[in-house]
Structure 1
Amino acid sequence: MPVNETLSVYSDLCYAAALAVFMLGLLLHAAEYGFTRKPKQRAATPAAGVAAGGVATLDRPEEDSPGGAVGPGVRDRRPLAARLGRMGVALTVLAAVLQLASLVLRGLATSRIPWGNMYEYIAALCLAAVVAWLVVLRRHPVREIAVFVLLPVVILYFVAGTFLYAEAAPLVPSLRSYWIIIHVSAAIVGSGILLVSGMGAVAYLIKSAHERRPERFRNLGAKLPDLVALDRLAYRTAVFAFPILTFGIICGAIWAEAAWGRFWGWDPKETVAFISWVVYAGYLHARATTGWRGVPAAWINVIGFATVVFNLFFVNLVVAGLHSYAGVG
Structure 2
Amino acid sequence: MNLAANANIALYSSMIVYTLAMLAFTWHLAARVPTIEGVRVEDREAVLVGSGSRDGEPAAPETPSTPYAAGLVGEQTLKSRQRGNIALMLTYLATALLVSSVLMRGLAVSRPPWGNMFEFATAAAAAVGVAYSVLAKRNHWEWLGVFIVAPILLVLGLSLTELYTEAGELMPALKSYWLGIHVSVAFIAVAMFTIGFAIGALYLVRRHREEKPPAKPNFIESLPTSAALERTSYTVNMVGFILWTFTLIAGAIWAKEAWGAYWQWDPKEVWTFVIWTVYAAYMHSRATAGVDARKSMYIALAGFVAVIINFTLVNLVSTFVGMHNYSGM
TM-score, normalised to structure 1, is 0.84
Bigger relative CO (Cα 8 Å, ≥ 6 apart): 2
Measure how far apart 1:229 and its partner are.
2.2
Tell me the equivalent position of 1:326: 327
- Which residue in the other structure is 1:32 paired with? 28
The Cα shift of 1:83 comes to 1.2
Alignment gaps of 5+ in structure 2: 41-71
TM-score for both structures, normalised by structure 2: 0.84
What is the total number of aligned residue pairs between the two structures? Answer: 296
Matched with 1:74 is none
Change (3 A) 1:65 1:93: closer
Query: Which amino acid is 1:301 matched to?
Result: A
- Corresponding residue of 2:308: 309
Show the counterpart of 1:169: 168
Q: Distance in 1 between matches of 2:125 and 2:264?
A: 29
Structure 1 residues 147 and 291: alpha-carbon distance in aligned structure 2, compared to 1, 3 A threshold: farther
Aligned residue in 2 for 1:134: 133
1:257 — aligned with what? 256
Give 2:322's aligned amino acid. G
Does 2:216 match 1:222? no
Q: 1:325 is aligned with what amino acid? A: Y
Quote how far apart the aligned CAs of 1:290 are: 3.0
Aligned runs of 1:78-93 on 2, under 5 Å? Answer: 78-93=77-92
Query: Is 1:147 aligned with 2:136?
Result: no
Output the CA distance in 2 between the equivalents of 1:32 and 1:187. Answer: 32
Aligned runs of 1:159-308 on 2, under 5 Å? 159-215=158-214, 219=218, 221-290=220-289, 292=291, 294-308=293-307
Structure 1 residue 21 and structure 2 residue 17: aligned?
A: yes
- Supply the AA of the counterpart residue of 1:27: L
Instruction: Verify the 8 A CA contact 1:269 1:311 in the aligned structure 2.
Output: yes
Distance in 2, Cα, partners of 1:217 & 1:266: 53
Q: Post-superposition shift, 1:326?
A: 1.7
- Aligned alpha-carbon RMSD (Å): 2.2
The structure that has the greater radius of gyration is 1
Deviation string for 1:34-75 (max 9, x for gaps)?
Answer: 22222414157xxxxxxxxxxxxxxxxxxx99977xxxxxxx
SS at 2:111 equivalent: coil
Tell me the CA shift for residue 216 of structure 1: 9.3
Which secondary structure state, in structure 1, belongs to the residue aligned with residue 92 of structure 2? helix
Distance 1:151 1:164 in 2: 19
Letter in 1 for 2:285: A
Shift of the 39–240 alpha-carbon distance from structure 1 to 2, 3 Å rule, reads: farther
% identical aligned pairs:
34
- 1-structure distance, mates of 2:112, 2:248: 19
1:286 offset after TM fit, Å?
2.5
Name the stretch that deviates more: 16-25 or 212-221.
212-221
Question: Contact 1:137/1:143 (CA < 8 Å) preserved in 2?
Answer: yes
Out of 122-131 and 5-14, give the one that drifted further.
Answer: 122-131
> Residue 142 of structure 1 contacts residue 225 of structure 1 at CA under 8 Å; is this kept in 2?
no
- Residue 8 (structure 1) aligned with residue 4 (structure 2): yes
2:34/2:217 contact within 8 Å kept: no
CA contact (8 A) 1:210 1:217 kept: no
Aligned partner of residue 242 in structure 1, secondary structure:
helix
Q: Distance in 2 between matches of 1:65 and 1:104?
A: 40
Residues 1:123 and 2:122 aligned together: yes
On the 8 A contact 2:109/2:167 being kept in 1, the answer is yes
Q: Distance in 1 between matches of 2:74 and 2:219?
A: 25
Aligned 8 A contact 1:209 1:216 in 2:
no
Q: 1:6 to 1:36 in 2, by over 3 A?
A: same
Give 1:8's aligned amino acid.
A
Q: Distance in 1 between matches of 2:150 and 2:195?
A: 11
Match of 1:42 in 2: 38
Contact map agreement 2:7 2:105 (CA 8 A) in 1: yes
Matched residue of 1:192: which SS?
A: helix
The alpha carbon displacement at 1:88 in A equals: 0.6
Question: 1:102–1:293: structure 2 CA closer, same or farther, 3 Å change rule?
Answer: farther
Cα deviations by residue, 1:163-205 (Å, 9 ceiling, x for unpaired): 1111111112221111111111111111111100111101111
